[in-house]
Amino acid sequence: MTTHQSEDESYIYRIYDSITDVSLADWQRLTGTIPDLGMDPRMIRVLEETLADQCRMWIITVADAVGVLVACACLSLFVVDALRPAPIAVRKITELIRGVLAWLPQVRAVALRSACASGRKPY
């Protein structure tokens, strides 16, 4: 877990490597005891386990100065081969280029799911 405090010290945010490190009581206070599927801790844990070889995941919580959780988010980082669906000829040329410019055909995609203190999604 990594902990940071805002410059004006009104918020503290924590970054966790797994949903299992987050207090279930705090999480449920914010998302509800029956959260939607995307914020359900059980589903997040299943995703962490099954996608471990495909992406990196973090849980971020934000607390006010008193320590009450006011927001949370689940972040996922996927490295995507943008040329995977391309025709075979294009992929073969890309394989030749990859040795020199390995980053060229890959894109980093971040997925975000969040909740705020009002219980509503902030989007």
pLDDT in tens, 52-84: 988 889 999 998 888 888 888 888 888 776 667
Sorting pLDDT into bands at 50, 70 and 90, what band is 123? very low
Sorting pLDDT into bands at 50, 70 and 90, what band is 42? very high
Strands (E), the chain: 2-5, 11-16, 55-64, 69-81, 106-116
What predicted TM-score, i.e. pTM, was given to this entire model? Answer: 0.66
| φ/ψ of residue 87, rounded to 5 | -60, 155
Reference 111, options 45, 61, 38; nearest CA is 38
Can you tell me the distance from the alpha carbon of 44 to that of 57, in angstroms, rounded to the nearest whole number? 9
